[in-house]
Amino acid sequence: MKPIFGSKNLSILFLSTFLFFTNEALFLPTLPLYLSTAGYTNFKIGTVLGAFALGVLFTRPLSGFITDEKGRKLSLAAGVLVFATAPLLYLVSTDFTYLIIIRFYHGLGISFYTTAFPAYITDASDVDRRGEILGHMATSTTLAFTLGPLIGTAIFASYGFKALIFLCSLTGLINFIIILRISEPQRKSAGEIKIPYRTVVFKRSVLVSSFIQVVYAVIFGGIMTFLPLLLKNIEGVSIGIFFMVQSIVIIACRFLAARLSDKYGRGPVFFYSFCIILSAVFLISKINSLPILIATAALFGIGSSLCSPALSAYIADNSDPSARGTVFSFFYGAFDAGVITAGIILGFIADLTNIRDMFMITAGGGFACLVIFSLLIQKGVKESLRWTLLF
Protein backbone atom coordinates (compact mmCIF):
# COMPACT_ATOMS: atom_id res chain seq x y z
CA MET A 1 0.00 0.00 0.00
CA LYS A 2 3.08 2.26 -0.07
CA PRO A 3 2.21 3.78 -3.51
CA ILE A 4 -1.12 4.93 -2.08
CA PHE A 5 -0.04 6.46 1.20
CA GLY A 6 3.01 7.98 -0.45
CA SER A 7 0.64 10.14 -2.50
CA LYS A 8 -1.48 12.84 -0.85
CA ASN A 9 -4.25 12.63 -3.44
CA LEU A 10 -4.47 8.83 -3.41
CA SER A 11 -4.49 8.88 0.39
CA ILE A 12 -7.40 11.35 0.38
CA LEU A 13 -9.21 9.24 -2.21
CA PHE A 14 -8.62 6.08 -0.16
CA LEU A 15 -10.20 7.68 2.93
CA SER A 16 -13.05 9.19 0.93
CA THR A 17 -13.82 5.88 -0.75
CA PHE A 18 -13.83 4.13 2.61
CA LEU A 19 -16.39 6.61 3.97
CA PHE A 20 -18.43 6.54 0.76
CA PHE A 21 -18.87 2.78 0.72
CA THR A 22 -19.27 2.59 4.50
CA ASN A 23 -22.30 4.81 3.92
CA GLU A 24 -23.64 2.29 1.40
CA ALA A 25 -22.67 -0.74 3.50
CA LEU A 26 -24.70 0.55 6.45
CA PHE A 27 -27.78 0.21 4.26
CA LEU A 28 -27.12 -3.06 2.46
CA PRO A 29 -28.00 -5.59 5.18
CA THR A 30 -30.53 -3.37 6.96
CA LEU A 31 -32.79 -2.03 4.24
CA PRO A 32 -33.99 -5.51 3.14
CA LEU A 33 -34.71 -6.32 6.80
CA TYR A 34 -36.53 -3.00 7.25
CA LEU A 35 -38.66 -3.63 4.15
CA SER A 36 -39.32 -7.21 5.21
CA THR A 37 -40.71 -6.09 8.55
CA ALA A 38 -42.90 -3.61 6.62
CA GLY A 39 -44.52 -6.57 4.82
CA TYR A 40 -42.71 -6.37 1.47
CA THR A 41 -42.40 -9.55 -0.64
CA ASN A 42 -39.04 -10.71 -2.02
CA PHE A 43 -40.03 -9.31 -5.43
CA LYS A 44 -40.88 -5.89 -4.00
CA ILE A 45 -37.70 -5.81 -1.91
CA GLY A 46 -35.66 -6.65 -4.98
CA THR A 47 -37.48 -4.00 -7.01
CA VAL A 48 -36.85 -1.26 -4.45
CA LEU A 49 -33.18 -2.14 -4.12
CA GLY A 50 -32.88 -2.50 -7.89
CA ALA A 51 -34.20 1.05 -8.39
CA PHE A 52 -30.91 2.19 -6.86
CA ALA A 53 -29.04 0.66 -9.76
CA LEU A 54 -31.60 2.02 -12.22
CA GLY A 55 -30.68 5.53 -11.14
CA VAL A 56 -27.03 4.72 -11.65
CA LEU A 57 -27.60 3.21 -15.08
CA PHE A 58 -29.59 6.09 -16.50
CA THR A 59 -27.06 8.71 -15.41
CA ARG A 60 -23.89 6.88 -16.43
CA PRO A 61 -23.59 8.78 -19.74
CA LEU A 62 -23.89 12.08 -17.85
CA SER A 63 -21.37 11.06 -15.19
CA GLY A 64 -18.97 9.86 -17.88
CA PHE A 65 -19.27 13.17 -19.75
CA ILE A 66 -18.72 15.24 -16.60
CA THR A 67 -15.80 13.08 -15.50
CA ASP A 68 -14.02 13.48 -18.85
CA GLU A 69 -15.01 17.06 -19.70
CA LYS A 70 -15.38 18.81 -16.33
CA GLY A 71 -12.98 16.80 -14.18
CA ARG A 72 -12.67 13.80 -11.90
CA LYS A 73 -12.95 15.90 -8.73
CA LEU A 74 -16.35 17.36 -9.66
CA SER A 75 -17.83 13.91 -10.23
CA LEU A 76 -16.39 12.61 -6.95
CA ALA A 77 -17.83 15.57 -5.03
CA ALA A 78 -21.24 15.21 -6.71
CA GLY A 79 -21.43 11.54 -5.74
CA VAL A 80 -20.54 12.24 -2.12
CA LEU A 81 -23.09 15.07 -1.91
CA VAL A 82 -25.90 12.78 -3.05
CA PHE A 83 -24.91 10.22 -0.42
CA ALA A 84 -25.00 12.94 2.25
CA THR A 85 -28.54 14.08 1.37
CA ALA A 86 -30.36 10.96 0.14
CA PRO A 87 -30.56 9.00 3.44
CA LEU A 88 -32.77 11.62 5.12
CA LEU A 89 -35.41 11.16 2.43
CA TYR A 90 -36.08 7.59 3.58
CA LEU A 91 -37.71 8.99 6.72
CA VAL A 92 -40.55 10.63 4.77
CA SER A 93 -42.54 7.54 3.74
CA THR A 94 -42.45 3.74 3.27
CA ASP A 95 -44.71 3.91 0.21
CA PHE A 96 -43.51 1.53 -2.51
CA THR A 97 -43.51 4.10 -5.34
CA TYR A 98 -41.90 6.76 -3.18
CA LEU A 99 -39.07 4.44 -2.13
CA ILE A 100 -38.37 3.55 -5.75
CA ILE A 101 -37.98 7.28 -6.53
CA ILE A 102 -35.68 7.82 -3.54
CA ARG A 103 -33.58 4.79 -4.40
CA PHE A 104 -33.29 6.13 -7.96
CA TYR A 105 -31.96 9.44 -6.63
CA HIS A 106 -29.67 7.65 -4.16
CA GLY A 107 -28.16 5.75 -7.08
CA LEU A 108 -26.93 8.96 -8.67
CA GLY A 109 -24.21 9.07 -6.02
CA ILE A 110 -22.80 5.72 -7.14
CA SER A 111 -23.00 6.79 -10.78
CA PHE A 112 -20.79 9.84 -10.32
CA TYR A 113 -18.38 8.43 -7.73
CA THR A 114 -17.64 5.03 -9.26
CA THR A 115 -17.17 6.55 -12.73
CA ALA A 116 -14.58 9.04 -11.49
CA PHE A 117 -12.89 6.71 -8.95
CA PRO A 118 -11.17 4.24 -11.35
CA ALA A 119 -10.49 7.00 -13.89
CA TYR A 120 -8.70 9.05 -11.21
CA ILE A 121 -6.63 6.07 -10.05
CA THR A 122 -5.69 5.13 -13.61
CA ASP A 123 -4.56 8.70 -14.31
CA ALA A 124 -2.41 8.69 -11.18
CA SER A 125 -0.76 5.27 -11.61
CA ASP A 126 1.95 3.82 -13.85
CA VAL A 127 0.81 1.20 -16.34
CA ASP A 128 3.16 -1.48 -14.99
CA ARG A 129 1.65 -1.13 -11.49
CA ARG A 130 -1.93 -0.36 -12.48
CA GLY A 131 -3.41 -3.69 -11.38
CA GLU A 132 -1.58 -3.51 -8.06
CA ILE A 133 -2.71 0.04 -7.26
CA LEU A 134 -6.31 -0.61 -8.34
CA GLY A 135 -6.31 -3.64 -6.07
CA HIS A 136 -4.88 -1.73 -3.11
CA MET A 137 -7.32 1.14 -3.58
CA ALA A 138 -10.19 -1.32 -3.70
CA THR A 139 -9.17 -2.34 -0.17
CA SER A 140 -10.88 0.85 1.02
CA THR A 141 -14.14 -0.60 -0.27
CA THR A 142 -13.39 -3.89 1.42
CA LEU A 143 -12.77 -2.21 4.76
CA ALA A 144 -16.06 -0.37 4.35
CA PHE A 145 -17.93 -3.63 3.78
CA THR A 146 -16.20 -5.12 6.80
CA LEU A 147 -17.33 -2.47 9.26
CA GLY A 148 -20.46 -1.11 7.58
CA PRO A 149 -22.73 -4.16 7.87
CA LEU A 150 -21.60 -4.85 11.45
CA ILE A 151 -22.24 -1.27 12.54
CA GLY A 152 -25.42 -1.01 10.52
CA THR A 153 -27.05 -4.15 11.88
CA ALA A 154 -26.01 -3.27 15.45
CA ILE A 155 -27.50 0.23 15.24
CA PHE A 156 -30.62 -1.02 13.47
CA ALA A 157 -31.20 -3.66 16.16
CA SER A 158 -30.47 -1.37 19.11
CA TYR A 159 -31.69 2.07 18.05
CA GLY A 160 -33.82 1.59 14.96
CA PHE A 161 -33.79 2.72 11.35
CA LYS A 162 -33.93 6.45 12.09
CA ALA A 163 -30.62 6.41 14.00
CA LEU A 164 -29.05 4.54 11.08
CA ILE A 165 -30.28 7.23 8.68
CA PHE A 166 -28.69 10.02 10.71
CA LEU A 167 -25.36 8.16 10.82
CA CYS A 168 -25.39 7.76 7.02
CA SER A 169 -26.00 11.48 6.46
CA LEU A 170 -23.29 12.43 8.94
CA THR A 171 -20.82 10.11 7.21
CA GLY A 172 -21.70 11.69 3.87
CA LEU A 173 -21.21 15.22 5.20
CA ILE A 174 -17.78 14.43 6.64
CA ASN A 175 -16.80 12.79 3.36
CA PHE A 176 -17.88 15.85 1.36
CA ILE A 177 -15.53 18.03 3.41
CA ILE A 178 -12.70 15.52 2.83
CA ILE A 179 -13.13 15.11 -0.94
CA LEU A 180 -12.92 18.87 -1.48
CA ARG A 181 -9.23 18.64 -0.48
CA ILE A 182 -8.29 16.37 -3.40
CA SER A 183 -6.52 17.80 -6.47
CA GLU A 184 -7.53 17.22 -10.07
CA PRO A 185 -5.08 14.74 -11.69
CA GLN A 186 -3.10 15.51 -14.81
CA ARG A 187 -4.09 13.37 -17.78
CA LYS A 188 -1.88 12.31 -20.65
CA SER A 189 -3.95 11.96 -23.79
CA ALA A 190 -2.87 10.30 -26.99
CA GLY A 191 -4.22 13.30 -28.89
CA GLU A 192 -6.57 16.27 -28.80
CA ILE A 193 -9.18 14.80 -31.17
CA LYS A 194 -12.33 13.78 -29.32
CA ILE A 195 -13.11 10.09 -29.79
CA PRO A 196 -16.74 9.33 -30.79
CA TYR A 197 -18.83 7.52 -28.15
CA ARG A 198 -19.51 4.54 -30.41
CA THR A 199 -15.80 4.13 -31.08
CA VAL A 200 -15.05 4.26 -27.36
CA VAL A 201 -17.54 1.66 -26.13
CA PHE A 202 -18.17 -0.55 -29.16
CA LYS A 203 -14.90 -2.39 -28.76
CA ARG A 204 -14.61 -6.10 -28.11
CA SER A 205 -12.65 -5.53 -24.90
CA VAL A 206 -15.30 -3.18 -23.51
CA LEU A 207 -18.42 -5.05 -24.67
CA VAL A 208 -17.35 -8.56 -23.61
CA SER A 209 -15.93 -7.33 -20.31
CA SER A 210 -19.17 -5.43 -19.66
CA PHE A 211 -21.14 -8.61 -20.38
CA ILE A 212 -19.33 -10.56 -17.66
CA GLN A 213 -19.59 -7.49 -15.42
CA VAL A 214 -23.38 -7.85 -15.66
CA VAL A 215 -23.08 -11.45 -14.49
CA TYR A 216 -20.86 -10.47 -11.57
CA ALA A 217 -23.35 -7.76 -10.63
CA VAL A 218 -26.24 -10.25 -10.62
CA ILE A 219 -24.25 -12.39 -8.19
CA PHE A 220 -23.31 -9.40 -6.06
CA GLY A 221 -26.86 -8.04 -6.04
CA GLY A 222 -28.30 -11.43 -5.18
CA ILE A 223 -25.97 -11.82 -2.22
CA MET A 224 -26.52 -8.30 -0.89
CA THR A 225 -30.30 -8.46 -1.24
CA PHE A 226 -31.23 -12.03 -0.36
CA LEU A 227 -28.44 -13.46 1.81
CA PRO A 228 -29.58 -11.40 4.85
CA LEU A 229 -33.07 -12.86 4.39
CA LEU A 230 -31.70 -16.41 4.10
CA LEU A 231 -29.51 -16.13 7.20
CA LYS A 232 -32.10 -14.54 9.49
CA ASN A 233 -33.77 -17.95 9.98
CA ILE A 234 -30.54 -19.87 10.70
CA GLU A 235 -29.43 -19.97 14.32
CA GLY A 236 -25.85 -18.97 15.11
CA VAL A 237 -25.07 -17.11 11.88
CA SER A 238 -25.47 -13.53 10.69
CA ILE A 239 -24.80 -11.42 7.64
CA GLY A 240 -22.30 -9.41 9.67
CA ILE A 241 -20.10 -12.48 10.11
CA PHE A 242 -20.24 -13.17 6.38
CA PHE A 243 -19.10 -9.65 5.48
CA MET A 244 -16.43 -9.64 8.16
CA VAL A 245 -14.83 -12.92 7.03
CA GLN A 246 -15.13 -11.99 3.37
CA SER A 247 -13.50 -8.62 3.94
CA ILE A 248 -10.63 -9.98 6.05
CA VAL A 249 -9.85 -12.52 3.32
CA ILE A 250 -10.01 -9.84 0.60
CA ILE A 251 -7.60 -7.58 2.48
CA ALA A 252 -5.18 -10.44 3.13
CA CYS A 253 -5.27 -11.58 -0.51
CA ARG A 254 -4.72 -8.08 -1.85
CA PHE A 255 -1.68 -7.63 0.33
CA LEU A 256 -0.27 -10.97 -0.80
CA ALA A 257 -1.44 -11.09 -4.41
CA ALA A 258 -2.01 -7.51 -5.56
CA ARG A 259 0.43 -7.85 -8.47
CA LEU A 260 -0.82 -11.17 -9.83
CA SER A 261 -2.62 -9.68 -12.83
CA ASP A 262 0.36 -7.42 -13.57
CA LYS A 263 2.71 -10.39 -13.48
CA TYR A 264 0.68 -13.28 -14.93
CA GLY A 265 -1.92 -11.54 -17.06
CA ARG A 266 -5.41 -10.10 -16.61
CA GLY A 267 -7.19 -13.04 -18.27
CA PRO A 268 -6.11 -16.05 -16.20
CA VAL A 269 -6.34 -14.16 -12.91
CA PHE A 270 -9.87 -13.04 -13.73
CA PHE A 271 -11.04 -16.45 -15.02
CA TYR A 272 -9.86 -18.57 -12.11
CA SER A 273 -10.95 -16.05 -9.49
CA PHE A 274 -14.42 -15.92 -11.07
CA CYS A 275 -14.59 -19.73 -10.84
CA ILE A 276 -13.94 -19.38 -7.10
CA ILE A 277 -16.77 -16.86 -6.84
CA LEU A 278 -19.18 -19.26 -8.56
CA SER A 279 -18.16 -22.00 -6.12
CA ALA A 280 -19.02 -19.66 -3.26
CA VAL A 281 -22.43 -18.85 -4.76
CA PHE A 282 -23.24 -22.55 -5.02
CA LEU A 283 -22.13 -23.10 -1.44
CA ILE A 284 -24.47 -20.34 -0.24
CA SER A 285 -27.39 -22.62 -1.07
CA LYS A 286 -25.97 -25.16 1.42
CA ILE A 287 -25.43 -22.84 4.39
CA ASN A 288 -26.91 -24.30 7.57
CA SER A 289 -24.15 -23.69 10.11
CA LEU A 290 -21.39 -21.26 11.02
CA PRO A 291 -18.48 -23.29 9.49
CA ILE A 292 -20.19 -23.41 6.08
CA LEU A 293 -20.93 -19.68 6.30
CA ILE A 294 -17.26 -18.95 7.04
CA ALA A 295 -16.07 -21.19 4.19
CA THR A 296 -18.49 -19.52 1.79
CA ALA A 297 -17.43 -16.02 2.83
CA ALA A 298 -13.74 -16.97 2.51
CA LEU A 299 -14.21 -18.33 -1.01
CA PHE A 300 -16.17 -15.28 -2.09
CA GLY A 301 -13.47 -13.08 -0.57
CA ILE A 302 -10.65 -14.85 -2.42
CA GLY A 303 -12.47 -14.59 -5.74
CA SER A 304 -13.53 -10.98 -5.31
CA SER A 305 -10.06 -9.85 -4.23
CA LEU A 306 -8.62 -10.81 -7.61
CA CYS A 307 -11.57 -10.68 -9.99
CA SER A 308 -12.56 -7.00 -10.01
CA PRO A 309 -9.05 -5.43 -10.07
CA ALA A 310 -7.97 -7.71 -12.94
CA LEU A 311 -10.98 -6.84 -15.10
CA SER A 312 -10.78 -3.12 -14.25
CA ALA A 313 -7.08 -3.09 -15.14
CA TYR A 314 -7.83 -4.79 -18.45
CA ILE A 315 -10.41 -2.11 -19.27
CA ALA A 316 -7.94 0.63 -18.28
CA ASP A 317 -5.20 -0.94 -20.43
CA ASN A 318 -7.45 -0.77 -23.49
CA SER A 319 -8.88 2.74 -23.10
CA ASP A 320 -7.61 6.16 -24.19
CA PRO A 321 -7.00 8.54 -21.26
CA SER A 322 -9.19 11.22 -22.86
CA ALA A 323 -12.19 8.86 -22.91
CA ARG A 324 -11.51 6.83 -19.80
CA GLY A 325 -14.45 8.31 -17.88
CA THR A 326 -16.78 7.32 -20.73
CA VAL A 327 -15.37 3.79 -20.82
CA PHE A 328 -15.76 3.30 -17.09
CA SER A 329 -19.23 4.83 -17.12
CA PHE A 330 -20.30 2.19 -19.66
CA PHE A 331 -18.44 -0.60 -17.88
CA TYR A 332 -19.92 0.18 -14.49
CA GLY A 333 -23.26 0.86 -16.14
CA ALA A 334 -23.20 -2.84 -16.98
CA PHE A 335 -22.77 -3.51 -13.27
CA ASP A 336 -25.81 -1.35 -12.55
CA ALA A 337 -27.86 -3.26 -15.10
CA GLY A 338 -26.86 -6.50 -13.42
CA VAL A 339 -27.90 -5.28 -9.99
CA ILE A 340 -31.29 -4.28 -11.40
CA THR A 341 -31.63 -7.74 -12.93
CA ALA A 342 -30.63 -9.35 -9.64
CA GLY A 343 -33.23 -7.49 -7.63
CA ILE A 344 -36.16 -8.08 -9.95
CA ILE A 345 -35.51 -11.43 -11.65
CA LEU A 346 -33.85 -13.21 -8.72
CA GLY A 347 -36.57 -11.89 -6.42
CA PHE A 348 -39.16 -13.37 -8.79
CA ILE A 349 -37.30 -16.71 -8.86
CA ALA A 350 -37.01 -16.70 -5.07
CA ASP A 351 -40.77 -16.21 -4.75
CA LEU A 352 -41.43 -19.05 -7.22
CA THR A 353 -39.02 -21.48 -5.59
CA ASN A 354 -37.01 -20.43 -2.55
CA ILE A 355 -33.86 -18.44 -1.82
CA ARG A 356 -31.59 -21.50 -1.67
CA ASP A 357 -32.67 -22.76 -5.10
CA MET A 358 -32.31 -19.25 -6.46
CA PHE A 359 -28.62 -19.21 -5.50
CA MET A 360 -28.06 -22.61 -7.15
CA ILE A 361 -29.63 -21.34 -10.38
CA THR A 362 -27.45 -18.23 -10.20
CA ALA A 363 -24.27 -20.31 -9.88
CA GLY A 364 -25.17 -22.47 -12.89
CA GLY A 365 -26.06 -19.50 -15.05
CA GLY A 366 -22.88 -17.72 -14.02
CA PHE A 367 -20.71 -20.62 -15.14
CA ALA A 368 -22.41 -20.72 -18.56
CA CYS A 369 -21.74 -17.00 -19.00
CA LEU A 370 -18.10 -17.42 -17.98
CA VAL A 371 -17.68 -19.97 -20.77
CA ILE A 372 -19.12 -17.47 -23.26
CA PHE A 373 -16.73 -14.80 -22.00
CA SER A 374 -13.78 -17.18 -22.41
CA LEU A 375 -14.69 -17.78 -26.06
CA LEU A 376 -15.32 -14.18 -27.09
CA ILE A 377 -12.87 -11.92 -25.26
CA GLN A 378 -10.31 -12.07 -28.12
CA LYS A 379 -10.88 -12.11 -31.90
CA GLY A 380 -10.50 -15.87 -32.32
CA VAL A 381 -11.64 -18.76 -30.12
CA LYS A 382 -8.08 -20.12 -29.73
CA GLU A 383 -6.74 -16.68 -28.90
CA SER A 384 -9.56 -16.17 -26.40
CA LEU A 385 -8.93 -19.46 -24.62
CA ARG A 386 -5.18 -18.90 -24.59
CA TRP A 387 -5.60 -15.37 -23.20
CA THR A 388 -8.11 -16.54 -20.59
CA LEU A 389 -6.76 -19.87 -19.39
CA LEU A 390 -2.97 -19.77 -19.73
CA PHE A 391 -0.57 -17.95 -17.44
CATH 1.20.1250.20 fits domain 2-180+198-389: yes
Buried b / exposed e along 114-141 (16+ C-beta atoms within 10 A) = bbbbbbbbbbbbeeeebbbbbbbbbbbb
Task: Give Cβ neighbours of residue 388 (< 8 Å, ≥ 6 apart).
Answer: 267, 268, 270, 271, 373, 374, 377
Instruction: Give tens-digit pLDDT for 145-158.
Output: 778 878 888 898 88
So what's the pLDDT on residue 1? 56
| 164-181: average pLDDT | 94
Q: What is the C-alpha separation between 239 and 230, in angstroms, rounded? A: 9
3-state secondary structure of 359: helix
Q: What is the C-alpha separation between 187 and 67, in angstroms, rounded? A: 12
| 126-136: average pLDDT | 69
Q: Report whether pLDDT(180) > 90.
A: yes
Q: What predicted TM-score, i.e. pTM, was given to this entire model? A: 0.70
Q: Report whether pLDDT(3) > 70.
A: no
Q: Are 79 and 109 in contact (CB under 8 A)?
A: yes
372 or 57, higher pLDDT:
372
User: DSSP secondary structure string, 212-249?
Assistant: HHHHHHHHHHHHHHHHHHHHTTSTT--HHHHHHHHHHH
* CA angle, 186 then 324 then 220, to 5°: 125
Task: Give Cβ neighbours of residue 378 (< 8 Å, ≥ 6 apart).
Answer: 204, 384, 386, 387
Instruction: Give tens-digit pLDDT for 200-240.
Output: 677 888 888 888 989 998 998 888 888 888 888 888 887 77
Domain residue spans of the chain: 2-180+198-389
Q: What is the C-alpha separation between 4 and 210, in angstroms, rounded? A: 27
Q: What is the C-alpha separation between 227 and 103, in angstroms, rounded? A: 20
Buried b / exposed e along 216-253 (16+ C-beta atoms within 10 A) = bbbbbbbbbbbbbbbbeeeeebbbbbbbbbbbbbbbeb
Q: Report whether pLDDT(18) > 80.
A: yes
Q: How confident is the model at residue 130 (pLDDT cuts 50, 70, 90)?
A: low
| 327-354: average pLDDT | 80
